[in-house]
Structure 1
Amino acid sequence: MPGTLKSDLSCRIVHLQCLVKTLRGKGQKSVSNVGPIADAINRANKLIDLLKGIKLEVNDETLNDYFVEYINHLNGSANSIRKCQEFIEVCELLLYYIEQVDFENYFSSLYHIMISWQSQLMNSSEFKPKIIDVFKAMEKDLGAHIYPMMSLRIGLIGETSAGKSSLLNHLRGLHDDEENFKLNTASEKELMSPMRYGKSTLCRLEFEHQYSNGSKITFVDIEGATEYDQCLKCGNYFDEIRKSDCDLYIIVFEHKCTEIHRSWEEYIVNELHRQCRFVRNKADDLFLRTFQEDVGIDFNSASQTQRDKYAKLVLERIRKSVTSDINGKQLHKLYLTSCSYMRNRSYEMLFSMPYGNFDLDELIHDIQHLPPDFHEDRLLATATRATATVINTCFRRGYVVNVLKYKIYAGVAAVVPLLDLLPRYFGREEIRQVFGVNSRSRFMNWWTGQADEFKDYLTQFQIVITEQGFKTSAFQKSFQYRGTATASKVSSGTSVVLKGVTTVGIAGLSVSDDFLRNAGVGVITVARGVSIGFIVAGVVVTAAMCAWSAVSNGKQMYDYLNRLCDDLIVVAAYVAKKIIEDNHRVRTTFSN
């Protein structure tokens, strides 16, 4: 039907307009991706204009033709293999540049050092990046955020039609009546999260909002869950929750908190280490039904005296009925709201009452006054992600050292049992020195009495860490550890040495001298044949062992490089946390 198609068109148009508006607002501060950002916005606007044209022209007579044209525009072409390929590519491209602009705006030193190194690595065979420069750039960027003012991210999750998009619009102070929704596709209007019956959010949407007290919030409208198989298909929704990367998650439901909602809460708290709140939406329906059942009179037909007399009791009853899940376990924090797609006149009387908004104002107040810990955690997560991006982009490269050289050394050294471990050790040492983790070998440090520049830099932070987080021994003696030090978790493969021992014993034989002479000739002949066979076998086995050792050494070096990069990211997280804690103390000192 034309109405269904127009509704779908409106939703997709708003999705694209939302991303374009976010990128255009943030992209004004970018100086590195001006051209690509403009191209991405133009590509999105072109698709928006095509979809708007279909929406204006479609009717009963042209429905089939425009439906085919609509599908072709979403796919990009009639021969596209992937459904909605063009729509998905445009959305992902806009999201990518939004992340890049945030990276450049908040961590400009890290961003520009990464761009500079990328250019050098493309034009030179010499590996020049040093890890100490990454940490100093991160320290400089965090020093500019003594008062962390980064926008917090709040995500709304729940099943389809739970009212997430409507609640999000209310949290932003936008009305979601039908007339505003019809006008919402115009670019000059304040963009709202699309609403309709059924699934309205087709991909992750982000809306930036600033409250009157200066609090900046990025609301993330996550598409609704449509699968209820907790063991199989709902795992995809966990991935959507993780990718949204929010500081606070609001779990929205409209009936009773179920095991699915509890599983989301457990994942958010225990796996993502974030906080969440519960919202029982569409409380207006529940209130009106409960009022009818308990009082015996329809709320709209009751007198003002009756409404004032029984409203508080009805509210207490519905709170008691929804503050526990289906298993009777109490919810930690629950808000009642009445946000839905459309409101008819039967609700107007309730909404005109002081209690008609239920807990919406309280929820908005709590969002406006989130504790400083939320801002510090957001800054820490962003700093760690930015540093990891630089390390993964510039350091996690296979040509950092000449691996082939050490593969040859290991192959030759494998002739002697365990000697192939030496090339492996020197290869790892060269990786550490090329990265700048070590300034020189450990022997030279001992001989000259000097310390490694990077490790000496780390000591100033006086960080106490947990050793279990490391995958190599590179930082084994660089930090103080909590509890008893455990054995190193570094795994180093050893060469396989085959040793054969053959023992022949002859006893109790009484034979003649002639027999012994004849037998001796035969034994000598057999022994010569056996010895030649063992020599040939030994050469073959030795060659195989040398080849295996060479290949294994190369794999071990690549593996060590990746594990060392993982350790550097772990160290970066600890350093960033310490810098943020120091900033907090400075902030507290100035406040007092």
Structure 2
Amino acid sequence: MMQADISFENTELRNSDRVSFRETYLEKDRFAETHSFIVHYLNEQKKIKNITFNCANEIIQHAFACFDRYHFNENNAILTYFDSDENLTLLTTVPSPLEDGQAWNLYIKYVSPICFMCSNPFGIIDEELLLECPNDKCSQQYCSSCVNAIRGASCQYPFACADCKQNVTPKRNKLIEEYLIWPNLGKLYGTRSLLSLKNKSDSLCYQSVLTDIKLRYTHLQSRLCTFSQKFRSNFPPSSKDEELVTSAEDICQKLTIILAKTESLKKEIGARQTTISLTLEKYKKGMKHFDDLCDKMLTTIQEIENVQIDTVKEYHMDELQALPSESNIFSIDKILDDVAFRSELIWQYYGKVKVLFETHSLDKQRAAKNFEKVEKMISMLKEMKETLLFFRQKCVDVSLLIDEYFSLLSDQTIPNIPNSRFILLMERLRIRIEKIEVACLFPQTIQLMSAWENDYGIDDSFKPKLIDLCQAVENDIKTLYDGTNYTCSIPFKIGAIGDTSAGKSALIKTLSNTEHTSVTILSQRSTFGYLQIDTVLENPKSKLRVPFSFFDIEGAIDNDLERALINYFDIITKTDCDLYMIVYDKPLTAFNLQCFDYVTNVLQRKCIFVRSKSDILFRQLYQDENGHEYNKESCRDDVVNVDNVLRKMRTQAKITYKDEELFHPVFLTAAGQNNDLNETKVGKFDLEKVKQMIFRLALNDCRIKRIYRLAVLLSKHIVNTCFRRGYAVSQGSYRLLSAGLSIIPFADEISNYMGKNKICQALGAYDNSTAANAPFQKDRVQEYLIQHKFIIPKGELKSGCFQYLIAKDSETTKSVANEIMVTSISSENQTDNSMYRTRISSASVTLASMAAIRVSDDVIRATVPVAVGTVRAASVVGILTGAILTPVIATWAFVNTGKCMNNYLHQLCDDFQCVLQYFIANVCNQSCRHIQAMFDASFSNDEYSSSDED
């Protein structure tokens, strides 16, 4: 198994967050020279001829511009080249021109959104590592889990690239990990906020440390609890899972210890009831007459001793005013230096004057007042020194705590990546949670996949079969929707999305009825990626206990809208919720509206708008409307004005950034409002309506879109890792047969056909037992698929194995392309509201049944004499020419047959995925219709739109 250890020699700042490596490394070159480059991306290449570049950044921008349709930028792509040792290297400086005017070859490296095989995103844990096809013109990307599943534990089996169709060994690209994957994860998990602590480690930033620790502890503890609940209640313990839990618990325990130390430090500092700034102000005030006192003492010394003393008055107030007031060691040391200088000077003068007064019997009473001032000043200097030394030691203590904190969060194998251990733990827990959830929903399918992934038989011993996969998926889905058990067995998932600090956390805390606490750090983020809260809520009417999973999804953290949307869509997709709430506290932005479009049109999930912090808006509009502040005492006698304000609020809440009005309902909420509104007509606005709505949806929505998506992704994963194996059928005999028949024109097609037919049998495209006995009859696979009554539009299938599923004419194809509405359990009245229905656009209720005509091996053998007779009729010259070229033709036929069989294997697997998509949609549709028939409507659309009422 591959390990995710990385030994980066680069700076901590560059690796930990997306602080551009170009800012660190791409400096101006000394000499601007003319260069030519050939820029490669996959199988495309562009030439850059005779252009003068001053720095590498100019080359990068020029290279990206050559492929502008791909929208490459420093966040999603890097530019590389092969150095003199043939190692792939990041371009950081302008390379020296090659001899004879040759052009440098540059390669753009880009991270695909998902693995080609399993459709999961790439990451930094072992099973998510990105592996590339070594063919530079291909570079198809796969996760290590899929590659390992195909190649076997000992990597003894070949891996056929699904893109270039060659047998390859996909390789890790550490440059992509270092410069693209890690920085994005660092941004997701708040590396920048952690680095800000490191940069302030010599200061009294204990509050920032407290906030950061609480935030990370909350996330890790939440994910650990979610994992432990799902893991322990569904599966027997395994050593790896127990080890993961132990590691997470160990981090949580140590975070608690550091948190306690920081809290203690905070109390000690708080007990002083002062700050560096206040201490400095007090110091400045106390030293106000320092110059005068020193001048008086100096004058006294000169008069008594009758000498002229030259002195440089470094103690002047202008220097005192320039002292820094920041709460860090540098500022404290500057003030301490000043205190030390003044203490030494005033003690020197004061001691001299005291001696002179005693030895010369001068009138001490006359100088008593000044002596008192000096002694008071000396006492203040002593107090200042003690206070400043205390603060300095606390700065050192904070620095030690930050070092301990950093050491705890960093993985020893990746020492240069801040919070790498935290990121790895969070990602491992996330992956395991997702896998457990899928395993709970599809136990039979997962069991089948586990058996097939570890079986490497070929030909008749090849175990994966299409009908077995279809039956397992169908059984799992039907089991989920057997009766009404799905309501209590499939959690209803709700995600809160929107801008940073919009009130998402407060709303989730209120809706989930948990003690979920969220803290805010300097960047105003209260969430890393998402915070999952699993809970069970009881329906107040039916007393039915329904499981919910609430997702507090972080606000957008990218300044660039396009980049923000790309990252945010990825997080939204990962949470895979049944309902998304767009939470906002300002006019709807372009970001909010594009999130709504993505959820409703791409994910096809339910989405509602929630205007948070409505109490603030209410007070503001009330004051604007009435000229005075709102108070609850006057509310009972001011019903008309309150109603007017509420109507204005509902209108204003629908206004977008374009000053257009939203056509969708908006719920007004104030989850964190003051209690003085609770007992009034205003109350909690629409918060109770939101609670009622999510309960109604949880009871009446059958989560079918999410189940459909998971089933399709799971079946795709199985097809790609278990079926798409180049060694499924032994190609040797077919290649030799093809080479032997190559002397006969086109006879090698017979062996190609036989090879393809064998692949169909091995993968279960049809049941070879029935096909061998009755080749023109429907086999078991065909009958099984036909009975589900779905058809596939023309042009989507390529292998020719599923002709009986293809639409007969264009009219039928057009009807197939239309979306099939899968209504939830609620009411047929909901069919006009797209928010309360589910679409699965992959199947049709009509059926076009076409008998598949297959040619058996006997028929193929019968055609051989005909071909031979044709060859015997050829001319003598043709035969002689053919004899000369026979070795070349035989070699070509040998190789070509292998390519044809590989290509067909991939074609057939592509068709499997397509058939499964339509098949699963049909099963889901049937399940929904079955459930809908069991229930009467329980609510209408009017109840959902009640948020528009006053």
1:333 aligned partner, one-letter code: P
Instruction: Report what 1:391 is aligned to.
Output: 719
* 1:242 paired to 2:570: no
* 1:200 paired to 2:531: no
Relative distance call for 1:410 and 1:321 in structure 2 (3 A) is farther
Relative distance call for 1:422 and 1:220 in structure 2 (3 A) is farther
- From 898, 907, 926, give the equivalent of 1:560: 907
Instruction: Report what 2:556 is aligned to.
Output: 225
1:557 is displaced (CA, Å) by: 3.5
**Which SS does the other structure have where 2:804 is aligned?**
coil
1:279 is displaced (CA, Å) by: 1.2
**Partners of 2:512 and 2:535 within 8 A in 1:** yes
Provide the C-alpha distance between the structure 1 equivalents of 2:518 and 2:749, rounded to a whole number of angstroms: 60
Provide the C-alpha distance between the structure 2 equivalents of 1:453 and 1:407, rounded to a whole number of angstroms: 30
Instruction: Report what 2:225 is aligned to.
Output: 21
1:152-188 per-residue CA deviation (whole Å, 9 max, x = no partner) reads 21111111111111111111124xxxxxxxxxxxxxx
1:221 is displaced (CA, Å) by: 1.7
- From 459, 467, 477, give the equivalent of 2:804: 477
Instruction: Report what 1:276 is aligned to.
Output: 607
- From 509, 512, 526, give the equivalent of 1:172: 512
Summarize the alignment of residues 421-440 of structure 1 with structure 2, pairs less than 5 Å apart: 421-440=749-768
Instruction: Report what 2:473 is aligned to.
Output: 138
Relative distance call for 1:420 and 1:12 in structure 2 (3 A) is farther
Summarize the alignment of residues 411-430 of structure 1 with structure 2, pairs less than 5 Å apart: 419-430=747-758
Instruction: Report what 1:315 is aligned to.
Output: 646
**Which SS does the other structure have where 2:469 is aligned?**
helix
- From 52, 56, 65, give the equivalent of 2:260: 56
Provide the C-alpha distance between the structure 2 equivalents of 1:32 and 1:133, rounded to a whole number of angstroms: 26
Instruction: Report what 1:512 is aligned to.
Output: none
Instruction: Report what 2:655 is aligned to.
Output: 324
* 1:117 paired to 2:452: yes
- From 697, 700, 706, give the equivalent of 1:372: 700
Q: How large is the RMSD of aligned CA atoms in angstroms?
A: 3.5
**Which SS does the other structure have where 1:211 is aligned?**
strand
Q: Higher RCO, 1 or 2 (CA under 8 Å, sep at least 6)?
A: 1
1:2 is displaced (CA, Å) by: 0.7
1:320 is displaced (CA, Å) by: 0.9
* 1:96 paired to 2:436: no
**Partners of 1:155 and 1:249 within 8 A in 2:** yes
Relative distance call for 1:548 and 1:434 in structure 2 (3 A) is closer
**Which SS does the other structure have where 2:533 is aligned?**
strand
1:44 is displaced (CA, Å) by: 0.7
Instruction: Report what 1:338 is aligned to.
Output: 670
Provide the C-alpha distance between the structure 2 equivalents of 1:410 and 1:124, rounded to a whole number of angstroms: 18
Relative distance call for 1:540 and 1:121 in structure 2 (3 A) is closer
1:575 is displaced (CA, Å) by: 4.1
TM-score (normalised: structure 2): 0.51
2:511 aligned partner, one-letter code: L
Instruction: Report what 1:499 is aligned to.
Output: none
1:218 is displaced (CA, Å) by: 1.1
Relative distance call for 1:454 and 1:24 in structure 2 (3 A) is same
1:411 is displaced (CA, Å) by: 6.0
Structure 1 residues 146-155 or 96-105, which shifts more?
96-105
Relative distance call for 1:316 and 1:135 in structure 2 (3 A) is same
Structure 1 residues 11-20 or 34-43, which shifts more?
34-43
1:579 is displaced (CA, Å) by: 4.1
Provide the C-alpha distance between the structure 2 equivalents of 1:124 and 1:194, rounded to a whole number of angstroms: 59
1:474-531 per-residue CA deviation (whole Å, 9 max, x = no partner) reads 22213666854679xxxxxxxxxxxxxxxxxxxxxxxxxxxxxxxxxxxxxxxxxxxx
Structure 1 residues 429-438 or 4-13, which shifts more?
429-438
1:104 aligned partner, one-letter code: A
Provide the C-alpha distance between the structure 2 equivalents of 1:333 and 1:403, rounded to a whole number of angstroms: 61
Provide the C-alpha distance between the structure 1 equivalents of 2:577 and 2:676, rounded to a whole number of angstroms: 36
1:80 is displaced (CA, Å) by: 2.4
Instruction: Report what 2:386 is aligned to.
Output: none
Provide the C-alpha distance between the structure 2 equivalents of 1:565 and 1:283, rounded to a whole number of angstroms: 51
**Partners of 2:556 and 2:568 within 8 A in 1:** yes
* 1:356 paired to 2:356: no
Structure 1 residues 423-432 or 151-160, which shifts more?
423-432
Structure 1 residues 3-12 or 112-121, which shifts more?
112-121
Instruction: Report what 1:577 is aligned to.
Output: 924
1:434 aligned partner, one-letter code: A
Summarize the alignment of residues 439-454 of structure 1 with structure 2, pairs less than 5 Å apart: 439-440=767-768, 444=772, 447=775, 449-454=776-781
Provide the C-alpha distance between the structure 2 equivalents of 1:422 and 1:356, rounded to a whole number of angstroms: 80
2:256 aligned partner, one-letter code: K
**Which SS does the other structure have where 2:461 is aligned?**
coil
**Partners of 1:387 and 1:572 within 8 A in 2:** no
Summarize the alignment of residues 248-263 of structure 1 with structure 2, pairs less than 5 Å apart: 248-263=579-594
Provide the C-alpha distance between the structure 1 equivalents of 2:502 and 2:721, rounded to a whole number of angstroms: 41
1:373 is displaced (CA, Å) by: 4.1
Percent of residue pairs identical = 26
Provide the C-alpha distance between the structure 2 equivalents of 1:48 and 1:122, rounded to a whole number of angstroms: 45
Q: Structure 2 regions of 5+ residues with no counterpart?
A: 1-204, 266-393, 540-544, 815-880, 939-950
**Partners of 1:207 and 1:218 within 8 A in 2:** yes
Provide the C-alpha distance between the structure 2 equivalents of 1:111 and 1:78, rounded to a whole number of angstroms: 33
Relative distance call for 1:372 and 1:384 in structure 2 (3 A) is farther
Provide the C-alpha distance between the structure 2 equivalents of 1:458 and 1:535, rounded to a whole number of angstroms: 47
Relative distance call for 1:166 and 1:56 in structure 2 (3 A) is same
**Which SS does the other structure have where 2:535 is aligned?**
strand
1:192 is displaced (CA, Å) by: 4.1
Instruction: Report what 2:421 is aligned to.
Output: 86
1:548 is displaced (CA, Å) by: 6.3
1:252-287 per-residue CA deviation (whole Å, 9 max, x = no partner) reads 111011222111111112211112111111112111
* 1:70 paired to 2:397: no
Provide the C-alpha distance between the structure 2 equivalents of 1:459 and 1:238, rounded to a whole number of angstroms: 37
1:140 is displaced (CA, Å) by: 2.6
Relative distance call for 1:135 and 1:559 in structure 2 (3 A) is closer
Relative distance call for 1:301 and 1:438 in structure 2 (3 A) is closer
Relative distance call for 1:20 and 1:296 in structure 2 (3 A) is same
Provide the C-alpha distance between the structure 2 equivalents of 1:123 and 1:571, rounded to a whole number of angstroms: 28
Q: How many residues align?
A: 524
**Partners of 2:459 and 2:730 within 8 A in 1:** no
- From 242, 247, 264, give the equivalent of 1:38: 242
Instruction: Report what 2:786 is aligned to.
Output: 459
TM-score (normalised: structure 1): 0.79
1:219 is displaced (CA, Å) by: 1.1
1:69 aligned partner, one-letter code: E
Relative distance call for 1:286 and 1:557 in structure 2 (3 A) is same
1:560 aligned partner, one-letter code: Q
Provide the C-alpha distance between the structure 1 equivalents of 2:463 and 2:438, rounded to a whole number of angstroms: 22
Q: Structure 1 regions of 5+ residues with no counterpart?
A: 175-189, 488-533
Larger CA Rg, structure 1 vs 2? 2
**Partners of 1:18 and 1:206 within 8 A in 2:** yes
**Partners of 1:466 and 1:482 within 8 A in 2:** no
**Which SS does the other structure have where 1:338 is aligned?**
coil
2:610 aligned partner, one-letter code: V
1:387 is displaced (CA, Å) by: 3.6
Structure 1 residues 297-306 or 431-440, which shifts more?
297-306
- From 140, 145, 154, give the equivalent of 2:494: 154
Instruction: Report what 1:182 is aligned to.
Output: none
